[in-house]
Chain A
Amino acid sequence: MLRGLYKVISPELFTIKKLDASVAVLFAIILMGFVGPTLYPVDPRAVVGPLESPPSDLYPLGTDAYGKDILAQLMSGIRGSLQIGVTAAAIALLIGVMVGLVAGYKGRLTESLLMMATDIVLLLPSILLMILIAAYFKWRDPLLVSIIIGVTSWPWVARAVRSQTLSLKNREFVYLSKMAGYGDLQIVVRDILPNIASYVFMAYVLLMSGAMIAETGLSMIGLGVTQGVTLGSILFWAQVLEAVRRGLWWWFIPPGAVLVALASSLLMLATALDEYFNPRLRGG
C-alpha cells in the first residue's frame, strides 16, 4: 500500500516538495528579519521591561538579564547573521572558484602548487583558523568577521571546481574555441563557467549555511562581532550570563532554533538542487 503510494508520487515531485519546504522556511525567516521590525518596532538594544521576564503578551519571547526584548534581538540577529552569511559565502566562493578554475585549467606546476595550498588549508579545521585569526583583532565589525570566515572556508569549493574543470577542459567545445583562437580567459569565462554554474550556485548556498554556523561558533568563544546583533551574539550572552543553568530557556532556544532552521533549509535547498542537476541521484 505504502509502496504503491510512493510510486504514484514521482521522485521528481518529491524533490520539488523538498525544494518548496526549504524555500518556504527560508522566506519566512528572511521576512521575520526584514519585515518583522516594522511590525514589532522595539529597539533590540534598549532596556524595555523587567529583567528575565518569561514570554508573555507584552514580551512575546521574554526579556534577557538586562531587560532587553528577545524577539527584537532575534529579528535583528537574523539580519546580522544573514548579512555575514551572504558576504562570507561570496568571499569564499570567489577564492574557491578562482583557485579551482586556474588549477584545473592551467594544470602542471600551477595546479600542483594551488592544490597543495588547498589541501593544507583543508586539513586545518576552518573553525580553528578562524578563532586564531579573530583573536588578534580587538574590534570586529560584521565585514571583518565575514572576511575571516570567507578566507578560511573555500578549500572544498576549490577542489570540486578543479575536478569539474578538469573534466570539461578536454571536451570538444573547448577544443573548438581553442581552434577559433580564443584566449584562456575567454574560454574559462564562456565555456567552462556556464557549465559549472549550477554547481557554483549550490556551493554558494552551502557556504552560506556554513558561514552562519561559523559565526555562531566564533561568537560563542567570544570572538564574534563587537558591534551589532547576530544570532551568535545572542547565544554568547545567554551562555556567559548562565541562561541555561538559571532556566531561562526563552533566551537560548530561539536563536539556536532559527539558526538550525536557516542552515537546514539551505542544506535541503542545496540537496534538492543537487538531485535536480544530478540525475544519478534522482533515478531509481
Chain B
Amino acid sequence: MLKLGPIAIYLLRRSLFILSTFISFLLIIFALPRAIPGNPVATLLAQIFQQAQANPDTVKAVYKKFMEEFGLNKPLHEQLYDFLSRLMVGDLGTSIAFYPRKVVDLVASYLPWTLGLLIPATLAAWVLGNLLGAWAAYRRKTAVDNALLPTFLVLSQIPYYWLAMILLYVFAVYAKLFPVAGAYPPTMQPSLSSQFILGVLHHYTLPFLSILIVAIGGWAIGMRVLVIYELRSDYVEYSELLGLDDKKILGYVFKNSVLPQITGLALSFGTIMGGALITELVFSYPGTGYLLFRALSTLDYPLIQGTFIILVSTLLLANFIVDLLYAWIDPRIRVSYVGE
C-alpha cells in the first residue's frame, strides 16, 4: 500500500474539493440559461436570426457560428459534452458584442488590471486589518477599543463602490489631485517607461484605497474577536504568571489567532472580487468588471459565461494557494491527517 504523508492527504482532499466545486460551477453555468423558462440564450439567437433574414451574409455567418457554439438544437447530453470538451481545450466561445473576438483573448486582456488591483489591496488590507484588530483586542475596554470597534463595524458595511464614488468626488473631481477615470494617461502608449509607470500609479491610488479601507474593517473585527478569545487561554495566563514580557505573549497570541484568518483570506478573496468589479465601473478602470458590465448590458452571453469561468478559476486557484500556505504554516495539519 502506498503510504501518504499527512500533508499530502490534506492537499489531496482540498484539491478534490476545489475540483468538485469547479465542476459544480461549470454545471451551474451550463444549466442556468437552459433551466430558465424561454431560454434567454435561445431568445437572443432568435433575434440574431431575424436580423440575419434581413441582412447579408455576415450576420448569417454570425448566426451559424453561435448556433454551432451553443448547439441548442442538439439533445442536452450532447450539448453538455460539447460544452465541456470545448472548455478542455480552452475555448470559451466567441463574443457577440466584440464579434469576432474570442472570449478568452478579451478576458485575458482585461484580467491583469483586475488582479493588479485586487491582490495587493486584499493582502494589504489583511495585514493592516489583523494588526489593528489585535491592537483593539489588546486595548479592550479602553478608549482605543471603544473608538476602533465602531469604526471597523461601519467601515466593513460600506460598499467599496460607494466609498469609491466619494473618494473620486473629493480627491479627483473637487481637489483635482487624482485623475477622474481610466488606468493610465489616455495620451500615453502602454510601455515600461518610468513616466508611464508613474501615470499608472497615479490612476491606481484611489481604486486601491477604496478597496483597502473597506476591507480593513472586516479583518479587524474578526481578528479582534479571535484575539479576545485567545487572550483568555491557559497558556496566556501561565505566561503572565511566569512574568513573561507582554510583547512576547502578544506575539504568541497573534500567531495563533492569525491562523483562522488565513483560511478567511481565501473566502474573502471572492467577496472582495465582487466588490472590486463594481468599483472598476466607478473609476472606468479597464478591468474585468468593466468588461462584464459591457457584456451584461449587451446580453453578450458567451462573454458573460467566459468572464465568470475565468474569474472563478482564478478564485479557486487562489484558494488552493492559501491551502498550500496553510499546510505549510499550521503544524496541526501534520498531526490530524495521519495517513492510513
Contact = CB atoms under 8 A, between A and B. Distances in A.
Contacts, number: 142
Interface in A195-228: 209, 213, 216-217, 220-223
B274 A128 contact: yes
Interface stretch (A48-56, A93-101, A103-111, A257-265): A257-265
B321 to A, nearest CB: 14
A284 B237 CA distance: 14
Contact of A3 (B142, B156, B274, B289): B142
A35 interface: no
A123 B267 contact: yes
A271 interface: yes
A79 to B, nearest CB: 20
Given A253-B166, A264-B154, A267-B157, A244 B228 contact: no
Interface stretch (B62-70, B116-124, B292-300): B292-300
A65 interface: no
Interface string B168-186: 1100011000001100000
Interface string B271-300: 101110110011000000100110011010
Contact of A127 (B29, B156, B166, B274): B274
B142 A221 contact: no
A226 to B, nearest CB: 13
Interface string A145-156: 000000000000
A282 to B, nearest CB: 11
Given A124-B25, A128-B273, A128-B308, A2 B20 contact: no
Interface residues of B, number: 60
Given A260-B154, A268-B153, A280-B229, A220 B270 contact: no
B311 interface: yes
Contacts of A220: 159, 161, 278, 281
Interface in B14-28: 17-18, 20-21, 24-25, 28
A11 interface: yes
A257 to B, nearest CB: 8
Contacts of A267: 153, 156-157
Contacts of A238: 165
Most chain A beta carbons < 10 A, residue from B150, B229, B311: B150
A158 B174 CA distance: 46
B168 to A, nearest CB: 5
Contacts of A123: 18, 21, 267, 270, 315-316, 319
Given A116-B20, A136-B36, 20 more contacts: A116-B17, A119-B17, A124-B312, A125-B271, A128-B273, A129-B28, A137-B36, A213-B157, A221-B278, A221-B281, A239-B165, A245-B173, A247-B169, A247-B173, A259-B159, A260-B157, A260-B162, A267-B157, A280-B229, A281-B228
- The 8 A-B pairs with the shortest beta carbon distances in the complex, nearest first, are A125-B270, A127-B274, A256-B162, A263-B157, A264-B157, A264-B154, A136-B40, A120-B21
30 contacts: A3-B142, A6-B141, A11-B141, A116-B20, A119-B21, A124-B312, A125-B315, A127-B275, A128-B270, A132-B29, A132-B308, A133-B32, A135-B296, A135-B301, A136-B33, A136-B40, A137-B36, A217-B159, A221-B292, A222-B297, A238-B165, A239-B165, A239-B281, A239-B282, A244-B165, A252-B169, A253-B166, A256-B166, A264-B154, A284-B141
